[in-house]
């Protein structure tokens, strides 16, 4: 592999494009937030509008200069041990990241970099939020080389494995491919209400926009002859809106996960996906901290699952940044969990007093706010909900894994290696003491599991077991 | 795990620290009561009642709560793990093992310095911020515990193998693992 000189490297000139796009993105977001202020300025300076073109020209110049400076000030270098990045226009920051510390390595190829065969490399460390190195516009070969270095413990091993990987692709220890028909379904499995609420939150974050929309909506309502007509048209529009969102979500996820191909070779796990922009994401098995299996309402109807594999510090990450298998049929899930060495979970329940938690609070509150009948109805509804929740809640522990299953309509299973505990605690409220119960919380570097309403002695025993497994294990946990 | 070690209380001076801490809190709230007294829109009896409530609260916190809190703040140093218990009504027991400790800190504020106590803070990778805080330790104890823990961590032998590894099932892996070890 060609190693650019052991000094500070600058990015190729085409990286200007990447910086420009990111600058524009920041700029647009800033402008959108600033719309109310801008409107105020507009009204105040109504009589001096001849300056507007100059102002716009000035802003664009600043944008271009900022982009150029960001490009000029971005320096990076790497050696056998670490990668270093120096960046910043006014405040210069230098990030030093040892390969051993890196949890996950991503190579993205946005469509605008494809013609130049360049990629964006981002490396996530276990540190707190924002400890991420991102190098825009690296040659594809160099990115892959760096990703390999991260995955290997040393350079030599990387070179050796790379050459063996080049020999044949058949030597994968595990492989999982998603056919296009499956990729089409990913969008529908997402919680559409989360998308809609995100969209609504974004639109209404801006006061001017909110006022404008409310005004227009009232005018529009006044235009109808009868309430029924307004309701009919409104419902139709809402349905159309839902359908549009669903189509957009489907297209978005289709683009994201098109051609999904997961491969494990030894300890190296890697997936590649993407239609317009390609993503190649990888991590090493020793870094695994938590595995999350999820099935929503639609997932249950379609009998599909999704899986996320989290590393240390991943709980700070957004969902897009995580190692994801977006859709799995039962048989593919079976294959994946077998490869992850999941054991068979013998689910155990918690104490029945779990059912009544929150029960009366909601009922009484509803009764006080509205009327006693509403209180009684909500008490029954909540009781049924809590009962189903309790019935489907389960936990399991063995020498390999601690698992918690929470379920209502869909379900979520979180699996953590039992020997990778960071902290284990049990707590008891006066209310729980009445029933001789405790709550156990197991913190790992990838997230926490909570088991509420365990019998006190069972909780103590589980805590002792987890601590013993962790304390007596002298293998590397990350 | 050894049973020879037993639960230990923190320094008695910790009670005074708690008393000071809660007195400051009550004093701050009292400032609001005083301000309310000067505002005409708020009836004066509100201020009197609030002041009385605060006084009662202060008496309870200082003379009742603080000594009890001190008694239910305990720690246990076992061979390979640290346990910490806190609380009477809302009871909690937190444990970390030595082999997961990331770093250790001793903190001492001005009041704690006056009382000769300190806080021992154990960090792991398990979440945000401090993972296990033992308050009210005499400074000497804090340092002794820290040194002992650091010594333990330094002596710990970590094998090359990882807890989660594909090596267990894969036939191709032992070779690669051996190769990695050779390069180490």
Interface predicted TM-score (ipTM): 0.83
Q: For Cα atoms A85, A86, A88, give the angle at the middle one, nearest 5 degrees.
A: 130
User: Does B93 share its domain with B130?
Assistant: yes
**Cβ contacts of residue B174 below 8 Å, gap of 6+?**
B167
Q: What is the pLDDT of residue A112?
A: 84
Q: How many CA atoms lie within 13 A of A250 on its CB side?
A: 12
Q: Which of A270, A244, A108 is nearest to A187 (CA)?
A: A244
Residues of chain B neighbouring A309 (CB-CB closer than 8 A) = none
pLDDT surpassing 60 at residue A130: no
Q: What is the pLDDT of residue A265?
A: 86
Q: Does B125 touch chain A (CB under 8 A)?
A: yes
- pLDDT confidence band for A408 (50 / 70 / 90): confident
For the stretch B12-37, pLDDT in tens is 999 999 999 999 999 999 999 999 88
Which domain-ending residue is among B39, B71, B103? B71
φ, ψ dihedrals at A387, nearest 5°: -65, -45
Interface probe with B: pick from A126, A467, A472, most Cβ of B within 10 Å: A467
Written as one string, the DSSP assignment of A265-294 is ETTEEEEEE-SSSEEEEEEEGGGEEEEEEE
Residue B177's pLDDT band (cuts 50, 70, 90): very low
Q: Are residues B79 and B151 in the same domain?
A: yes
Instruction: Identify whether the C-beta of residue A309 lies closer than 8 Å to the C-beta of residue A291.
Output: yes
Is a pLDDT exceeding 90 seen at residue A393?
A: yes
In a domain, B119, yes or no: yes
Spatial separation of the C-alpha atoms in residues A294 and A406, rounded to whole Å: 10
Q: What are phi and psi of A451, to 5 degrees?
A: -115, 105
pLDDT digits (tens, 9 = 90+) for B51-90: 999 999 999 999 999 999 999 999 999 989 999 999 988 9
Does a structural domain hold residue B182?
no
What residues contact residue B108 under an 8 Å CB cut-off, 6+ apart? B117, B118, B119, B139
Residue of B nearest to A432 (CA): B90
Structural domain boundaries, residue B109: 75-155
pLDDT of residue A320: 73
User: Same structural domain for residues B87 and B150?
Assistant: yes
- Same domain? For B28 and B100 the reply is no
Nearest-CB residue to B94 (from A157, A285, A425): A425
pLDDT value, residue A144: 87
Mapped onto helix, strand or coil, the DSSP state of residue B116 is: coil
Q: Characterize B130-139 residue by residue with b for buried, 16 or more Cβ atoms within 10 angstroms of its Cβ, and e for exposed.
A: ebbbbbbbbb
> Is B119 found in the same domain as B80?
yes
CA distance B140 to B118: 9
Q: Is B67 domain-assigned?
A: yes
Task: Give me the mean pLDDT over the A256-272 stretch.
Answer: 91
The whole-number pLDDT of residue A395 equals 95
Number of structural domains chain B divides into: 2
Phi, psi of B138 (to 5 degrees): -55, 145
Question: What residues 65-84 of chain B have any CB closer than 8 A to a CB of chain A?
Answer: 80-81
pLDDT of A74-126, one tens digit each? 998 888 888 888 888 888 888 888 888 788 888 989 888 888 888 988 888 77
* B135 shares a domain with B114: yes
B100 and B151 housed in the same domain: yes
Residue B101 included in any domain? yes
How many Cβ atoms are within 10 Å of A64's Cβ, its own excluded?
13
pLDDT in tens, A7-61: 888 888 888 888 888 888 888 888 877 777 877 777 777 777 777 788 889 988 9
| Residue B181 pLDDT grade (very low, low, confident, very high; cuts 50, 70, 90) | very low
Given a cut of 80, is residue B127 above it in pLDDT?
Answer: no
B48 and B31 together in one domain: yes
CATH number of the domain within which B111 lies: 2.30.29.30
Task: Report the range of poorest mean pLDDT among A75-79, A210-214, B141-145.
Answer: A210-214
| Rounded percentage of chain B residues whose pLDDT exceeds 90 | 59
Q: Is residue B30 part of a domain?
A: yes
What are the two backbone dihedrals, phi and then psi, of residue A95, each rounded to the nearest 5 degrees? Answer: -110, 135
What pLDDT does residue A312 have? 82
Q: Indicate the domain borders of chain A.
A: 9-167, 413-478
Q: Are residues B44 and B84 in the same domain?
A: no
Q: Which of B78, B84, B161, B166 to mutate to test the interface with A (most CBs of A within 10 A)?
A: B166
Task: Report how far residue A149's alpha carbon sits from residue A233's, in angstroms, rounded to the nearest whole number.
Answer: 59
- Residue B3 is classified by DSSP as S
Given a cut of 50, whether residue B169 has pLDDT beyond it is no
Instruction: Determine contact, residues B10/B73, Cβ cutoff 8 Å.
Output: yes
Taking contacts as CB-CB distances below 8 angstroms, the residues of chain B near A81 are none
Q: What is the mean pLDDT of residues A432-450?
A: 91
A466 half-sphere exposure, CB direction, 13 A CA radius: 31
> Up-side HSE of residue A455: CA atoms within 13 Å toward CB?
5
Cα A98 from Cα A125, distance rounded (Å): 9
Banded pLDDT at B96 (limits 50, 70, 90): very high
Check residue B82 and give its pLDDT: 94
Whether B163 is in a domain gets the answer no
Residues of chain A found within 8 Å of residue B132, distances taken between Cβ atoms: 423
Tell whether the model's pLDDT for residue B4 goes beyond 70.
Answer: no
* Cα R_g (chain B), whole angstroms: 24
Does the CA dihedral B97-B102-B104-B110 come out positive or negative? negative
Q: Is residue B1 part of a domain?
A: no
Domain boundary among B21, B38, B71: B71
In the listed set B24, B45, B71, which residue is the last one of a domain according to the structure? B71
In a domain, B148, yes or no: yes
Nearest alpha-carbon partner for B125 in A307, A418, A311: A311
Same domain as B148, residue B98: yes
> Regarding predicted confidence, which is higher, A475 or A401?
A401
């Amino acid at each position: 592999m060609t190693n650019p000189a052991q000094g500070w490297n600058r990015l190729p000139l085409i990286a200007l494009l990447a910086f420009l796009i990111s600058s524009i993105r920041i700029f647009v977001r800033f402008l959108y937030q600033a719309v109310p202020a801008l409107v105020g300025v507009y009204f105040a300076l109504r009589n001096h509008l001849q300056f507007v073109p100059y102002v716009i020209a000035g802003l664009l110049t600043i944008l271009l200069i900022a982009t150029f400076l960001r490009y000029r000030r971005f320096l990076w270098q790497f050696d056998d041990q670490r990668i270093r990045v120096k960046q910043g226009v006014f405040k210069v920051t230098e990030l030093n990241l040892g390969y051993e510390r890196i949890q996950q390595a991503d190579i993205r190829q946005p469509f605008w970099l494809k013609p130049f065969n360049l990629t964006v490399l981002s490396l996530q460390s276990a540190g707190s939020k924002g400890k991420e190195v991102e190098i825009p516009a690296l040659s594809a070969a160099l990115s892959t080389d760096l990703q390999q270095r991260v995955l290997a413990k040393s350079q030599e091993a990387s070179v050796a494995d790379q050459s063996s990987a080049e020999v044949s692709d058949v030597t994968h220890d595990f492989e999982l491919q998603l056919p296009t028909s499956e990729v089409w379904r990913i969008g529908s499995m997402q919680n559409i209400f989360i998308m809609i609420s995100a969209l609504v939150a974004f639109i209404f974050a801006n006061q001017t926009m909110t006022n404008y929309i409310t005004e227009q909506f009232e005018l529009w309502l006044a235009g109808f002859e009868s309430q029924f007509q307004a309701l009919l048209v409104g419902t139709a529009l809402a349905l159309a809106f839902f359908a549009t969102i669903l189509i957009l979500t489907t297209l978005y996820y289709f683009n994201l996960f098109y051609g999904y191909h997961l491969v494990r070779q030894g300890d190296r796990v890697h997936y590649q996906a993407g239609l317009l922009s390609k993503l190649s994401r990888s991590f090493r098995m020793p870094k695994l901290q938590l595995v999350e299996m999820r099935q929503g309402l639609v997932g249950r109807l379609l009998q599909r699952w999704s899986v996320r594999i989290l590393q240390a510090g991943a709980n700070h990450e957004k969902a897009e940044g995580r190692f994801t298998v977006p859709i799995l049929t039962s048989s593919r899930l079976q294959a994946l969990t077998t490869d992850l060495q999941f054991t068979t979970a013998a689910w155990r329940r918690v104490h029945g007093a779990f059912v009544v938690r929150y029960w009366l609070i909601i009922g009484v509150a509803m009764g006080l706010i509205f009327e006693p009948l509403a209180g009684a109805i909500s008490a029954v509804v909540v009781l049924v909900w809590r009962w189903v929740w309790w019935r489907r809640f389960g936990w399991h522990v063995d020498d390999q894994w601690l698992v918690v299953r929470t379920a209502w309509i869909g379900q979520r299973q979180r699996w953590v290696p039992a020997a990778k505990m960071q902290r284990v605690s049990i707590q008891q409220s006066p209310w729980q003491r009445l029933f001789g119960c405790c709550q156990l919380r197991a913190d790992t570097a990838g997230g926490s599991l909570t088991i509420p309403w365990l019998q006190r002695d069972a909780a103590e025993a589980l805590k002792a077991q987890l601590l013993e497994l962790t304390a007596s294990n002298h293998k590397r946990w990350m | 795990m050894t049973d020879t070690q037993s639960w230990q209380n923190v320094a008695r001076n910790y009670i005074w620290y708690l008393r000071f801490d809660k007195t400051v809190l009550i004093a701050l709230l009292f400032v609001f009561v005083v301000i309310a007294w000067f505002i005409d829109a708020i009836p004066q009896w509100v201020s009197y009642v609030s002041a009385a409530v605060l006084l009662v609260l202060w008496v309870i916190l200082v003379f009742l709560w603080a000594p009890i809190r001190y008694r239910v703040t305990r720690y246990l140093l076992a061979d390979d793990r640290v346990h910490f218990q806190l609380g009477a009504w809302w009871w909690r027991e937190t444990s970390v093992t030595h082999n997961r400790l990331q770093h250790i800190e001793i903190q001492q504020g001005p009041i704690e310095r006056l009382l000769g106590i300190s806080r021992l803070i154990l960090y792991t990778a398990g979440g945000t911020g401090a993972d296990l805080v033992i308050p009210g330790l005499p400074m000497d104890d804090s340092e002794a515990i820290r040194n002992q823990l650091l010594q333990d961590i330094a002596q710990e032998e970590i094998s090359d193998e990882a807890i989660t590894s594909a090596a267990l099932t894969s036939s191709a892996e032992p070779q690669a693992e051996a190769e990695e070890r050779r390069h180490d």
